Amino acid sequence: MVTEILKPYLEEHGALLSEKQLSQLESYARLLTEWNEKMNLTAIVDEEGIALKHFLDSLALLRYAEIPKGARVADVGTGAGFPGVVLKIARPDIELVLIDSLQKRLKFLEEVLSQTGLSAELVHARAEDAGHDKKLRESFDFVTARAVANLSVLAEYCLPLVKEGGVFAPMKTAEAEQEIAEAKPAVAVLGGEIREVKLYELPVAGGRSVVIIDKVRQTPPKYPRQGTKISKKPIK
């Protein structure tokens, strides 16, 4: 069972889960494996990989980033639901919004929510469109993303969603030091300020990091830009 592999690592990552929460994770893992046979959700489908590279990595946010009680949280480009769904299982008090551009992934997440008894809002939108949606823009206490995009690009997608006083906490590899340094001008233009980078190790997966970015002022109205401008001409 996936949760039997996960259990020995939970305490050191600050995640003490009840039997109900472990059962929800087990259901999630089962659905991920089943649905992955008919659509490409993840390349990681073995039990150890799901337990440590998906679940434990997602739970690391609870230790390395402070998520206020009852916080409104967005997971941008959520894909198969990491880290958002795992956070909701561990912290049912948060108000979770899962944003993704592919409807089929949201159908999978709808089934996960149904089977696990979780509640979350599913938003079918590109991140650059979500950032201009009045219901979403600068409305979140905490925004995260586990996407592989460069941080300068990711910041333009995500910081417009964070309200002043909130936090953007992207999850990166431990080797992202130069990328983080190069993203500082973009982060500043978008109203953010990099506070610190938390490094940690995952068993079998190596070094990871969480970048803690405070939203210190409003994002200028023209951001995020549309289409390929964000990736082809990152803010410098």
Distance CA 15, CA 98 (A): 21
Residue 4 predicted with pLDDT over 80: yes
The domain defined by 2-218 folds into: Rossmann fold (3.40.50)
Burial label, 27 (beta-carbon count in 10 A; 0-12, 13-18, 19+): middle
Range with the poorest average pLDDT among 6-15, 208-217, 227-236 = 6-15
pLDDT given for residue 227 in this prediction: 78
Residue 204 predicted with pLDDT over 90: no
**Domain residue spans of the chain:** 2-218
127-145 per-position pLDDT tens digit = 999 999 999 999 999 999 9
In the predicted model, what is the mean pLDDT of residues 214-234? 94
- Contact criterion met (CB below 8 Å) for 180 and 205: no
Exposure string of 196-209, with b = 16+ CB inside 10 Å and e = fewer, is: ebbeeebeeeeebb
Averaged pLDDT of the chain: 95
- Which residue type sits at 78? T
Dihedral angle sign, alpha carbons of residues 109, 113, 118, 122: positive
Residue 147 pLDDT class (50, 70, 90 cuts): confident
77-86 per-position pLDDT tens digit = 999 999 999 9
- Which residue type sits at 112? V
pLDDT given for residue 61 in this prediction: 94
- Which residue type sits at 113? L
- Contact criterion met (CB below 8 Å) for 154 and 211: no
Burial label, 216 (beta-carbon count in 10 A; 0-12, 13-18, 19+): middle
Q: What would the two tokens of residue 30 be?
A: 């089962």
In the predicted model, what is the mean pLDDT of residues 121-128? 97
Residue 32 pLDDT class (50, 70, 90 cuts): very high
pLDDT given for residue 133 in this prediction: 98
pLDDT given for residue 205 in this prediction: 73
pLDDT given for residue 215 in this prediction: 98
Query: 213: which residues sit within 8 A by CB, 6+ positions away?
Result: 155, 159, 167, 168, 169, 170, 187, 192, 193, 194, 195
In the predicted model, what is the mean pLDDT of residues 172-183? 93
- Contact criterion met (CB below 8 Å) for 85 and 118: yes
Please state, as a whole number, how many other Cβ atoms lie within 10 Å of the Cβ of residue 29.
Answer: 21
pLDDT given for residue 12 in this prediction: 76
**High-pLDDT (> 70) share of the chain, %:** 100
